[in-house]
Homo-oligomer: A and B are copies of this chain.
Amino acid sequence: MKFIHTSDWHLGRQFHSVSLIADQQAVLAQLIAFIRENPVDAVVVAGDIYDRSVPPTVAIELLNQVVNQVCDELNTPMILIPGNHDGAERLGFGAGQMKHAGLHIISHFDEMLKPVVIHTKSAGEVAFYGIPYSDPEAVRAAFKTSVSTHDEAHEFLSQKVREQFSPQQKQVLISHCFVDGAIESESERPLSIGGSDRVSYEHFTDFDYVALGHLHQPQQRGAAYIRYSGSLMKYSFSEQHQKKGMTLVELNQDGFVAAEPVGLTAPHEMRIIEGELNDILEQGKTDPKNQDYLLVRLMDKHAILNPMEKLRSVYPNVLHLEKPGMLIGVEQEMAAARLARSEIDMFRDFFTEVQDCELSAEQDSAIKTIINQLSQQ
């Protein structure tokens, strides 16, 4: 049997004030097209489906479309857990009704203990257990136990799940957590401060496959069957070299067979361009990917009028501009100016800049008096 493991969709995310919803829709259309061509037994989403607990309406509508296509049109069950970005109760409304149509949203601990069982020819019964994202406090309160770290919480929860195992079933775990030693990206929101969010992969070794969410870079941890699928698409410039996509997992009667990455391509890539303005403008004229979301690092050392406007004439989606070259120049100039010019000179410049006219004689005299008074204090 085969299933798709994906996570960290972050539907509704904004990136430098630009909505990514059209990109997310395009990438999810690729996911749906893949399933249409390569039928699977289930689609698993390991948390952070939405970017925040109260998602914008467009994000809700997009998830609704995806669910209608996957569950209804393609007749493929979906199994979702909330992540740290999702609002579990909000996401979980109607879960009891939706499961009859193959949409399984595991947002309470009691649902965690009742697996979604999928009957397959090649691997028999496969039980999918989901741990809804929860911090140690929530686990402590729900189970009257004394766990105090994310690691203890996951040790406890995975033990609870293991107690439900049926020997004739294959066992898949879905969890949204930070497995110790795994690689972070810039676009994740920490689960807690100072490394106390780390969880040992060893709690997960009894499962046939562990579908992880939270970290945005695809990676395995501890074993080939304990994996992060990575996020749906890039959510920071620092991820420019990461290959994004989903994971196609295969199980048979003996358990884990393979986990294969399947690439998904966002219409706009996120990348960093570094260089002098004129070189970048020249290169932009023939760049086939000139619609990408860009961070531009201008290395010019002299001041440039309206660099953003100039860059956007060839790269319309420059979202952020850094001027490490110019900053050095500007700082030197400002320091020199501070030494050379008196306070009253600087105020005159400031006034002219802001008001578009010079100080009157009366104003000039008043500000001189004030500056003198202040400097005598």
Interface residues of A (CB under 8 A from B): 54, 57, 60-61, 63-64, 67-68, 71-72, 87, 89-90, 92-98, 100-103
Ranked nearest first, the 8 interchain pairs of A and B with the lowest CB-CB distance are A97-B101, A97-B98, A97-B103, A100-B101, A100-B100, A57-B89, A94-B98, A94-B94
What CA separation (Å) do A103 and B57 show in the bound complex?
21
Closest chain B residue to A87, Cβ basis: B57
Residues of B within 8 A of A64 (CB): 89, 92-96
8 sampled A-B residue pairs with Cβ under 8 A = A54-B54, A57-B89, A57-B90, A63-B93, A67-B94, A67-B97, A94-B97, A97-B98
Additional A-B contact list (19), CB under 8 Å, known A63-B93, A98-B101, A101-B101: A54-B54, A57-B89, A57-B90, A61-B89, A64-B89, A64-B95, A64-B96, A67-B94, A67-B96, A67-B97, A68-B96, A71-B96, A71-B97, A93-B94, A94-B98, A96-B101, A97-B97, A97-B100, A100-B101
Closest chain B residue to A102, Cβ basis: B97
What CA separation (Å) do A98 and B68 show in the bound complex?
11
What CA separation (Å) do A94 and B96 show in the bound complex?
11
Residue pair B93, A60 in contact (C-beta under 8 Å): yes
Residue among A61, A93, A95 facing the most chain B CB atoms (10 A cut-off): A93
What CA separation (Å) do A277 and B302 show in the bound complex?
78
Residues of B within 8 A of A93 (CB): 60, 63-64, 93-94
